[in-house]
């Protein structure tokens, strides 16, 4: 199972997130849940970095990404972060046996 965990401040701004695990929906290379999560995750990270919307500090390895988002950021970073969470919410509704969202 893939677990996506977000940590937000009192205003609801995401300060930290992690994505951990493998979905187990299908074999590697054919796993649509993994592909959906991975592509959306990297679209968000690349969008924030390439558009200089916030400073990101992250660690990455097989089946794991852990990221801290700077508090000093442009509103576009929050749009991308919240869009990522909304997508994960929708996807976990359809594939709940393979994907879980934890919001703190």
Strands (E), the chain: 2-8, 14-20, 56-61, 64-69, 99-103
| 3-class SS of residue 81 | helix
The average pLDDT across 60-83 equals 95
Query: Residues, the chain, total?
Result: 104
Instruction: Kindly state the helix (H) or strand (E) to which residue 87 belongs, with its residue range.
Output: helix 75-94
**pTM exceeds 0.75, yes or no:** yes
Q: Which is more confidently placed, 80 or 30?
A: 80
Mean pLDDT of 53-78: 95
C-alpha to C-alpha distance for 85 and 4, rounded to whole angstroms: 9
List pLDDT tens digits, range 3-60: 999 999 999 999 999 999 999 898 888 899 999 999 999 999 999 999 999 999 999 9
Reading the block at residue 36, the tokens are: 């959906």
Based on DSSP, count helices (H) and strands (E) in the chain, helices before strands: 2, 5
Domain 2-103 maps to which CATH number in 3.40.50.2020, 1.10.3470.10, 3.30.70.1490, 1.10.357.10?
Answer: 3.30.70.1490
Residue-level pLDDT at 51: 96
């Amino acid at each position: 199972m893939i677990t996506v965990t977000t940590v937000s401040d009192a205003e609801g701004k995401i300060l930290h997130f992690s994505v951990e695990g493998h979905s187990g929906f299908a074999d590697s290379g054919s796993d649509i849940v993994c592909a959906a999560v991975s592509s959306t995750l990297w679209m968000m990270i690349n969008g924030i970095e390439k558009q200089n919307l916030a400073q990101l500090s992250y660690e990455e390895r097989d089946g794991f990404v852990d990221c801290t988002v700077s508090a000093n950021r442009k509103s576009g970073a929050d749009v991308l972060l919240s869009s990522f969470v909304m997508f994960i919410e929708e996807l976990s509704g359809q594939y709940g046996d393979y994907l879980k969202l934890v919001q703190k």
